[in-house]
Amino acid sequence: MNKALIHQNRKEDWETPPEIFQPLHQFFNFTIDLAATKENSKCPSWVGPKGFYEDFLTLSIDSVRGHNCWINPPYGRFLQPFTRHIATLAKANLFIVALLPGSIDTGWFWDFVQPYARVFGRRGRIQFLPKGASGNPGPSILAVYNRDGMTPAGWDRL
């Protein structure tokens, strides 16, 4: 993945397209979006809107216990602290599905994803919303925390 391209665009609240989110939601029945604004939330409950970076990074375990959590975190400079906090929540046995860059050569992947999640790759690049503006420079993976044996059928074809 070209890190220069990721950091070139400072916008970090790209929206997950419905053709990616809806099949996953049907499979996992998400109840909270952990990194959202009012405009791009995918669930009735969501973490934001003051600045979802600070809101998520200070999120307590008890505030999301019992939820099926979805997160498409910012892919730029906040990715490492986000994946660190996802791992913290996962260690408390919370169910989280994270849409992440397919950067399996990074420290955040080996420290905060690989030890705690089942990881699924996919073909092609996701074009986040608004379409044509995201310029997603790399592949994506789906990290499923605390749901062994659950494989989102067809994820690799979305």
* 105: CB partners within 8 A, 6+ apart: none
Residue 129 CA to residue 136 CA, distance in Å, equals 10
Q: Are 25 and 16 in contact (CB under 8 A)?
A: no
* pLDDT tens string 58-104: 888 999 999 999 999 988 888 999 999 999 999 999 999 999 999 99
**CA angle at residue 128 from 124 to 133, to 5 degrees?**
105
Q: Is residue 41 pLDDT above 90, yes or no?
A: no
The model carries a pTM of: 0.85
**Max alpha carbon distance in the chain (Å)?**
38
Please state which CATH class domain 3-147 belongs to. alpha beta
User: How do the domains of the chain map onto residue ranges?
Assistant: 3-147
DSSP state of 146: S
Would the pLDDT of 8 be above 90?
Answer: no
